[in-house]
Structure 1
Amino acid sequence: MDQSDAKAAGGVPTDEEQATGLEREVMLAARKGQDPYNILAPKATSGEEDNSTVIWFWLHKGEAQRCPSCGTHYKLVPHQLAH
C-alpha cells in the first residue's frame, strides 16, 4: 500500500500533505535546494571540531562585511516575509 492509498483509507498524512503557510513554503523550497528565509541549518561550518567558539560581530545594511575570524563575507539583505 503506497502513501496515497494510506491517506484515502484514513491513514496519517505525510508532513508535506499536512503543512500549510510558511511551513509549506519552506518545505517546498528545501525540496528544490533553496532556503528563502535562511532558517535551514548551514551546509558547511567554519572552524575546527575542537574550536567551536561562536564569533559575534555587527552586521550593517549595505556592503558585504568580512567575518574577523574565518574570512567569510556576509551581507544584510532585508526582505518581506509572505503572510
Structure 2
Amino acid sequence: MASLCRQIIRGNALKGVLLNSARRGYADKMMPDPLEHATGLERKELLAIQSGDDDPFNMKVLKKAAGTKANPTLVPSCFDARIVGCICEEHSTAISWLWIHKGQPRRCECGHWYKLIEKTPL
C-alpha cells in the first residue's frame, strides 16, 4: 500500500513539473504590438489615440451645453455640414435629426441650438 502511495505522489509531482515547464515556455513569448501590424484607418486611429486624441473620428456622444443662440452646443466636423441627432426630452424614445452647416447655428424643435466648428482631419 505504501509503495502505491509513493507512485501516486511521484506521478503527481512529475506531472506538476512537466506542466510548470510547459507554462514557462509560453510565458516568454509576447504578442506583437498592435501598431506593428495595423494598416490603413486602424493604424491612423491607433496613432491618434497614442498622441492623445481619444475620439479621432468624432463618434462619441456630445453633452449638450447651454444651447442658447448666444452659447450653442459646438459640434466638431471636418466637413461643411453634419447631421446631428437631438434627444429633446430626457426619457424620449425618438430622436430629432437635423443638418447643421458651417457658419449657421441651427435650432432644434425643442429650442436647443447647435453650431458647427471646424476640426482638422487626421
When normalised by structure 1's length, the TM-score is 0.49
> Which of the pair is proportionally richer in helix?
2
When normalised by structure 2's length, the TM-score is 0.38
